[in-house]
Each structure stands twice: as C-alpha cells, then as structure tokens.
Amino acid sequence: MKEKLAILGNPPAFEKPRSTSNLIKPNIDSFLNYIKPSYSKGNLVEDNSLIQELENRLALVHGSKYCIAVCNGLWGLVLAINELKLNNKTEIIMPSLTYRRMADIAAWLKMTPHYCDVEIKTLGISAKSVENSINEKTALILAPHPIVNLCDVDGLLNISKKYKLPILFDSVEASYACYNGKSIGTFGDAEVFSVHASKFLNGFEGGYITTNNFDLARKLKAARNFGIENNQDLITLGINGKMILPHAAMTMSSLDLLETQIKKNKLRFYKYKELLEKVEGIDLIEYDSVERRSFKNILVKLNSQWPYSREVTLKILQKENMVVRPYYFPPLHKKEAVYPTIIGNLPNTELLMNDYMLLPCGEFVDSDDIEIIVDFLVYIESNSKEIKIELAKNNN
C-alpha cells in the first residue's frame, strides 16, 4: 500500500503530467505554409488577408453570416457584452457554476453579475432561473454552454424574445456541437468561442465571435480596432483586440485536422466509457449519441459509492501526475468579490458543485494512459479503508 501512492512519497504513475487540456498539435509545415505569404510581404502586422480567410472558414463551419476574430475568448466576451447590453441597465444574468472570470468581465464593464441556477441534468444555465432573475435592471442574458452537454437554447431564446433582452451564448466548450440539427454559432444575438491551446481548436491563443446581425458584426470589427471602422471613423468604444497572424495560421492548421481530432477524441471517450464500468463510484457524463459533438472533454461525477471527497480525490490523483481538476470550482457565488454581485436562489448549484471533475484527455493522452488512470481509480476505490488510514497518518 505504502509503495503504491505518490501522495505517500512514492514515484507517480506518470513521469510526465497528463493534462485535461486539448493541446492538439497541428502540422508545422501546414502552419508555416499559412503564414508564409504574409511573411514574404514583410508584414506580419498589417496584412489581414489570412485573418479574413480564417473568418470566412469559421463562418462556414458554424453556418453563421459573420465571424469576427479577436485576441482571445475573454476579450471577445467583453466586446460582445459591451455592444449587446441594453443602455442604462446594469445587471448581467449568468450562472454561478461557470468560467472563473465571468463575473470579473461584468465588473470590468461596470456591470453587476446576477447569479442564477443551473439544471441538474445538463449542468447548463436554467431557463426558469433566468426568468426568475429578470428585473428592471437586466441588461443582458449571458448563457455559457456547460462542458459535454448544451444548455436549453430554445428555452433561453424564448425568454430573450419574451422580455426583449439580448442574449449572448458563451460557446467555448461547444464549438463543434449541433443543437436540434443546427450548428452552434448561429443562435441568439451572438456566440463567443476560444482558440486557446486548451480548447477544441488550438490557435496558441485567440478567439472569435459569430453573429447573423450585420450591424453588430460591423461594430464588433471596429471595437477590436480601438472602435475605428476602416481605419477612419470612430463608431464605437474599442480596444486593441485583433487576432494576430501566427494565431490565425495555427487555427487554420487546427481546422485542417478537425475530423482527425474528433476521431481521436471519440476513441479516448469510448475507452474511458468501457473501462469506467469497473468503477462503481464514478459515473461518466456521456455525449449526445445523435447530434454532432467534439468529444473533447472527459467529465465524471463522483456518486454516493465513491469513498473519498472530491478534494481528497484530486489530491491523490494530482500527485500521480494526473492533472485532474474540479468542474468550475468554486462557483462564482462562493468566491469573495471586491465588486457588487447578486446571488439568486441556487439550490442545484449548491447540490452539484462538489461532485464533478475532469479526467485527463487531449492529444497527449492515449489508450494506454487511460488504462493506467482507470486501473488506479479501481485500486484506490477497492483499498479505500487502508488508504484513508495511511493518509490520516501522513496528515493528508
């Protein structure tokens, strides 16, 4: 027993960390070929032909009329919220169980996050809770898709229409999905995506916004360029939020490998599905078997049969160089904030917040790694009594 666990001072199961990030590695020759024309012109700053090519290609992938490439997903959210929010309104409705910087984004825009609840089944923002949170100060509904599942798009769109409120979907974790046969990227007023190395498409860094609204697209293109349209007229507030060419080239290279990546992701997912049946205390959260999905992440729930808390589980696995992480923890309403927040009724969030975690996935995790991970889970589940005694002796 003592010789098995790294948390007790023994060698870890993996010499190199196995991450929960995607980290797809595009072909270097493909990357160089995409960037070479701009490099040959001697201008990697002002030549935006590759950016436009990427935007056109992403618009086709999502089926949207317009795509606006930006420096990253976070600032894409900032720009989109700023253009969409109702004037003289101050509150943004958002779930608490979501991206750790979401409330900071609202505060940066001098707005107040109004936390609503999520659904038990999907972990996505609850349309009913959104409706209960609407008041005379509501400026925008911000609806992030959860990891693996999608939120109730139709329910949220109905509320947006009913109350005449703009709605923005954070689709960072749903970039290749379909909802009722229609590609994510075409819903609501706009949708925001990331091409960080950890995401479905690896652009090193970067992001983009999709919309079918011409006027919004026009303002967003200006907003990423200090608010200036066609380098002439100031038409809106803005920042230096442009995507740079190396990130565009990397994203194009990732797009070339899109189908290959999905095939690999599915193999990893179904390997986990097969092997986790041996682990009574862990439930794999499954992807929709009918609609298109990326199969990028491996999300599990620790059920009542699992003998450890999630906190202890994370400590044990992370010492083994399994870089597992909790699902959006702590939820935003549990974080100390230096700005005003509004906390709605969040019973589902409170119930779910300690149960879920992400297992290693992505380009640097193979079938053999998954066998090692699941065998280790079986081992610590089967020997929990002895392990708890040893952990207590070592103050873990």
Q: Using an 8 Å Cβ cutoff, are 103 and 334 in contact? A: no
pLDDT of residue 25: 86
Residue position matching structure tokens 């060698």: 11
Give the domain 6-22+258-393 fold.
Aspartate Aminotransferase, domain 1 (3.90.1150)
Pair of tokens at residue 267: 């193999």
Q: Using an 8 Å Cβ cutoff, are 186 and 62 in contact? A: yes
d(CA 207, CA 198): 12
Range in 4-13, 146-155, 272-281 with the lowest mean pLDDT = 4-13
Q: How far is CA 23 from the centre of its chain?
A: 14
pLDDT tens, position by position, 213-242: 999 999 999 999 999 998 889 999 999 999
d(CA 140, CA 38): 39
The DSSP symbol for 290 reads S
DSSP string, 64-126: -SEEEEES-HHHHHHHHHHHHSPTT--EEEEESSS-TTHHHHHHHTT-EEEEE-B-TTT-SBP
pLDDT of residue 44: 66
Q: Using an 8 Å Cβ cutoff, are 222 and 236 in contact? A: yes
Domain boundaries, the chain: 6-22+258-393, 28-256
Handedness of CA 287, 257, 62, 123 (dihedral sign): positive
d(CA 53, CA 368): 39
pLDDT tens, position by position, 144-198: 999 999 999 999 999 999 999 999 999 999 999 999 999 999 999 999 999 999 9
Cis before residue 330, ω within 30 degrees of 0?
A: yes
Q: How far is CA 144 from the centre of its chain?
A: 8
pLDDT of residue 26: 87
pLDDT at 2 over 60: no
d(CA 301, CA 310): 10
pLDDT tens, position by position, 9-63: 999 999 999 999 999 988 999 999 999 888 777 766 666 899 999 999 999 999 9
d(CA 258, CA 121): 28
Pair of tokens at residue 218: 């026009």
pLDDT tens, position by position, 302-328: 999 999 999 999 999 999 999 999 999
pLDDT at 98 over 90: yes
Q: Is 181 helix (H, G, I), strand (E, B) or coil?
A: coil
pLDDT tens, position by position, 107-145: 999 999 999 999 999 999 999 999 999 999 999 999 999
pLDDT tens, position by position, 79-88: 999 999 999 9
Q: Using an 8 Å Cβ cutoff, are 265 and 148 in contact? A: no
The DSSP symbol for 242 reads P
Q: Using an 8 Å Cβ cutoff, are 204 and 250 in contact? A: yes
Handedness of CA 206, 209, 215, 219 (dihedral sign): negative
Buried b (16+ CB within 10 A) or exposed e, 317-335: bbbbbbbbbbbbbebbbee
Output Rg (C-alpha) for the chain, integer angstroms. Answer: 22
Give the domain 28-256 fold.
Aspartate Aminotransferase; domain 2 (3.40.640)
Backbone φ, ψ for residue 350 (5° rounding): -60, -35
Is the pTM above the cut of 0.75?
yes
Closest CA to 192 of 165, 220, 155, 232: 220
Cα angle for residues 308, 311, 314 (degrees, 5° grid): 90
User: Within a 10 A sphere around the Cβ of 338, how many other Cβ atoms?
Assistant: 6
